[in-house]
Structure 1
């Protein structure tokens, strides 16, 4: 079990190690910014990483405060499901009603890699590989349809 400070330090080491891993991946070189994440230029739509004891997650999250706006954006994204899932053989998990720990309701479209634990450093290679490869694909596919979603 980690103390609060030890867990904070572990998270810092994890994200610094992930950034170093991404910098040496051939398919990620020469990018101006490593990931777009919160800068999708679509209100209430973000790309995210999540890691924890339960595994790794690569997420496209719709977090509009208004439920009707959130559901409308989710429906719009379902129109482009085939495009979003391009080059992702297992497909994406489409969750129209995900409840965060903060009790906020959001829509999530995501991939997960379960059975790995953020607290085990020997699992970090699996985390990094899964997260980098799948965020690269999800981000690329999202950017291909983003112009249509903004309309």
Structure 2
């Protein structure tokens, strides 16, 4: 296995390689909706692309979640099977709403799976972004 420094360097190399392989600007936090963002995630066992709705006000968080959920069939067309949780608890204890897709059996520490992760990231994030841009006005109207 790796020591802490080696693991940190591999994570850094991973994100640099992803940026060089797919040099484009992703929407991520630039949704124009506070605490409503798209995220990439990779760890030693899986990769994920998610929509995190992190408003502290549960009513607003729920309203945005319901808006996205009303587009369920369109979302499935764009990203395929996904998971959703209206009350997802982060490691720090914060409760958010999350919709995400996961690719199992890949690792940020295994360079042999990096290309597979990168392609997964691009395919799924592009799907999330297409849906968001197509229905942006509807989503923002809370």
Flag whether TM exceeds 0.5 (same fold): yes
CA shift for structure 1 position 15: 0.5
CA-to-aligned-CA distance 1:13-69 (integer Å, 9 cap, x gap): 00110011113xxxxxxxxx5201011111221000010022010101100012222
Q: 1:2-151 counterparts in 2 under 5 A?
A: 2-23=2-23, 34-88=25-79, 90-151=80-141
TM-score, normalization by structure 1 = 0.86
TM-score, normalization by structure 2 = 0.91
Q: Does the Cα contact within 8 Å between 1:84 and 1:142 map onto a contact in 2?
A: no
Runs of 4+ in 1 over 3 A off after TM superposition: none
Structure 1 gap ranges (5+): 24-32
Q: Does the Cα contact within 8 Å between 2:34 and 2:55 map onto a contact in 1?
A: yes
CA shift for structure 1 position 80: 1.7
Helix, strand or coil for the counterpart of 2:119? helix
Note the aligned Cα RMSD (angstroms): 1.5
Q: Does the Cα contact within 8 Å between 2:83 and 2:100 map onto a contact in 1?
A: yes
Helix, strand or coil for the counterpart of 1:85? helix
Q: Does the Cα contact within 8 Å between 1:116 and 1:123 map onto a contact in 2?
A: yes
CA shift for structure 1 position 12: 1.2
Q: Does the Cα contact within 8 Å between 1:83 and 1:145 map onto a contact in 2?
A: no
